[in-house]
């Protein structure tokens, strides 16, 4: 309906405030806005001048429809960038995946296309957040985890991931980033729950990162998310702030224990070899004494057998010789007085050298 004089006031729309003003009121210059009916008429006149035959008849309508159809069909061309992957949807259902370059799909609303970035490396922070000052703020509800030796560790994790398959990423799981974060936190708690505190914050960090990455990749593959986990990085880790002093005392006690053990081991390494050497020396001496006794016994036995054999040949002579050798051994080095009772010594009073015996006793 054209804006016309409906109140008999000579044109213009009668507003609530009176006077000749349009529906939006007068402009800053006080002029009325252009009439909508005039604008439509001017557009029709220009279209007639442009189309052949003045735009009248069936030919003009056909040309208009042809232009509209060509424009609609041309809207199906689209470009997929080098870092993107195209996913074509027909009435909301996936029908094709296109690679980078110029591609075509049936125009809207029949088909549409989604072009997610498949080369961008995305990151998820667990246990901390970057703040506006360039630092980080802890999120203890995420960072506090129970270790395998029943301690609590405060640890932050950064997960880097990218889209591996665009169609799986878009349609298999909703709220993809939230799902990846929940899966990463679950994998992290599982791995830390099997790791001792000291290992998790010192030499075992690399092993923890590798295990978490593998576990997280297994989870997202099970979900069919079409995601590749590029890296899992552990940030600063340690015991919670409220127990830092106690943890340091425990660490110092452990260090003292290890030092005492090392000192005891060094002492044992010094004493034990010496004791073993002494034991070996005694054993060898005993072995030598054993061989000596055996050899002496064997020699005595051989000597006895030799004498016995001679004795069997001439018993009287051998017995006399043994008797004389025994007396020689017994009386050797003694002062002796020998009286031949069968010779000229008959009737001689035996002489007992008491003085010499006294001197010998005095000595």
Same domain? For 93 and 174 the reply is: no
81 is in which domain, residue-wise?
Answer: 77-114
If you average pLDDT over every residue of the chain, what do you get? Answer: 77
Same domain? For 82 and 106 the reply is: yes
pLDDT of 211 > 90? The answer is: yes
Model pTM greater than 0.75?
no
Same domain? For 140 and 182 the reply is: yes
Same domain? For 97 and 159 the reply is: no
Question: Could you tell me if residue 182 is inside a domain?
Answer: yes
Q: What is the pLDDT of residue 191?
A: 92
pLDDT of 292 > 90? The answer is: yes
Same domain? For 134 and 87 the reply is: no
Q: What are phi and psi of 28, to 5 degrees?
A: -60, -30
Closest among 162, 320, 145 to 239, alpha carbons compared: 145
Distance between CA 135 and CA 137 in Å, rounded? 7
Q: What is the pLDDT of residue 322?
A: 83
Question: Could you tell me if residue 201 is inside a domain?
Answer: yes
Distance between CA 238 and CA 207 in Å, rounded? 17
Q: What are phi and psi of 194, to 5 degrees?
A: -105, 5
Same domain? For 194 and 222 the reply is: yes
pLDDT band at 311 (very low <50, low <70, confident <90, very high): confident
Give 188's contacts (C-beta < 8 A, 6+ positions apart). Answer: 126, 145, 155, 157, 212
Q: Each residue of 90-133: pLDDT tens digit?
A: 887 777 788 887 877 778 888 788 888 888 899 999 988 888 77
pLDDT of 362 > 60? The answer is: no
Q: What is the pLDDT of residue 361?
A: 53
User: Residue range 318-326: average pLDDT?
Assistant: 83
User: 205: domain CATH number?
Assistant: 3.30.479.30
Question: Could you tell me if residue 94 is inside a domain?
Answer: yes
Q: What is the pLDDT of residue 124?
A: 92
User: Residue range 253-275: average pLDDT?
Assistant: 90
Same domain? For 211 and 110 the reply is: no
Question: Could you tell me if residue 333 is inside a domain?
Answer: no
Distance, CA of 142 to chain centre: 19
Q: What are phi and psi of 311, to 5 degrees?
A: -60, -40
Question: Could you tell me if residue 299 is inside a domain?
Answer: no
Q: How many domains does one find in the chain? A: 2
Question: Could you tell me if residue 167 is inside a domain?
Answer: yes
Q: What is the pLDDT of residue 9?
A: 38
- State which of 239, 259, 289 marks the end of a domain: 239
Same domain? For 129 and 109 the reply is: no
pLDDT of 220 > 90? The answer is: yes
CB 56 within 8 A of CB 48: yes
Question: Could you tell me if residue 43 is inside a domain?
Answer: no
Q: What is the pLDDT of residue 40?
A: 61
pLDDT of 58 > 50? The answer is: yes
Question: Could you tell me if residue 320 is inside a domain?
Answer: no
Higher pLDDT, 78 or 139: 139
- State which of 215, 239, 263 marks the end of a domain: 239
pLDDT of 25 > 70? The answer is: no
Q: What is the pLDDT of residue 29?
A: 43
Q: What is the pLDDT of residue 68?
A: 80
Same domain? For 224 and 185 the reply is: yes
Among 74-88, 232-246, 301-315, 345-359, the minimum mean pLDDT is found in: 345-359
Q: H/E/C letters for each residue in the chain?
A: CCCCCCCCCCCCCECCCCCECCCCCCCCCCCCCCCHHHHHHHHHHHHHHHCHHHHCHHHHHHHHHHHHHHHHHHCCEEEECCCECEEEEECCEEEEEECCEEEECCCCCCEEEECCECCCCEEEEECEEECCCCCEEECHHHHEEECCCCCEEEEEEEEEEEECCHHHHHHCCCCHHHHHHHHHHHHHHHHHCCCCHHHHHCCCHHHHHHHHHHHHHHHHHHHCCCEEEEEEEEEEEECCHHHHHHHHHHHHHHHHHHHHHHHHHHHHHHHHHHHHHHHHHHHHHHHHHHHHHHHHHHHHHHHHHHHHHHHHHCHHHHHHHHHHHHHHHHHCCCCCCCCCCCCCCCCCCCCCCHHHHHHHHHC
pLDDT of 26 > 90? The answer is: no
Same domain? For 110 and 187 the reply is: no
Distance between CA 315 and CA 221 in Å, rounded? 111
| Radius of gyration for the chain, computed over Cα atoms and rounded to the nearest angstrom | 60
- State which of 183, 215, 239 marks the end of a domain: 239
Q: What is the pLDDT of residue 10?
A: 37
Distance between CA 106 and CA 173 in Å, rounded? 26
Same domain? For 108 and 203 the reply is: no
Same domain? For 109 and 200 the reply is: no
């Amino acid at each position: 309906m054209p804006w016309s004089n409906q109140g008999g006031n000579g044109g213009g729309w009668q507003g609530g405030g009176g006077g000749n003003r349009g529906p939006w009121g007068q402009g800053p210059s006080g002029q009325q806005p252009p009439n909508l009916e005039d604008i439509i008429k001017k557009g029709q006149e220009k279209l007639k001048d442009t189309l052949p035959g003045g735009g009248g008849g069936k030919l003009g309508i056909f040309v208009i429809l042809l232009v509209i159809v060509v424009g609609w069909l041309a809207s199906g061309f689209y470009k997929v960038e080098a870092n993107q992957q195209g996913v074509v949807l027909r009435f909301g259902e996936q029908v094709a995946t296109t690679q980078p370059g110029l591609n075509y799909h049936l125009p809207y609303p029949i088909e549409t296309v989604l072009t997610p970035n498949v080369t961008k490396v995305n990151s998820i922070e667990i246990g901390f957040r970057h703040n506006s000052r360039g630092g980080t703020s802890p999120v203890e509800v995420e960072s506090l985890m129970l270790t395998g030796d029943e301690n609590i560790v405060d640890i932050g994790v950064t997960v880097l991931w990218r889209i591996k398959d665009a169609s799986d990423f878009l349609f298999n799981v909703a709220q993809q980033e939230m799902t990846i974060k929940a899966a990463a936190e679950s994998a992290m708690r599982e791995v830390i729950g099997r790791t001792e505190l000291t290992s998790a914050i010192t030499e075992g960090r690399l092993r923890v990162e590798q295990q978490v990455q593998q576990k997280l990749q297994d989870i997202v593959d099970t979900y069919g998310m079409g995601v590749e986990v590029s890296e899992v990085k552990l940030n600063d880790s340690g015991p919670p702030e409220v127990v830092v002093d106690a943890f340091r005392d425990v660490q110092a006690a452990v260090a003292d224990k290890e030092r005492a053990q090392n000192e005891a081991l060094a002492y044992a390494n010094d004493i034990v070899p010496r004791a073993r050497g002494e034991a070996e020396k005694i054993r060898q001496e005993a072995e030598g004494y054993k061989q000596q006794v055996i050899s002496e016994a064997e020699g005595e036995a051989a000597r006895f057998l030799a004498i016995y054999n001679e004795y069997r040949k001439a018993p009287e002579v051998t017995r006399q010789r043994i008797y004389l050798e025994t007396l020689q051994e017994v009386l050797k080095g003694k002062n002796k007085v020998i009286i031949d009772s069968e010779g000229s010594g008959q009737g001689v009073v035996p002489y007992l050298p008491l003085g010499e015996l006294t001197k010998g006793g005095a000595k």
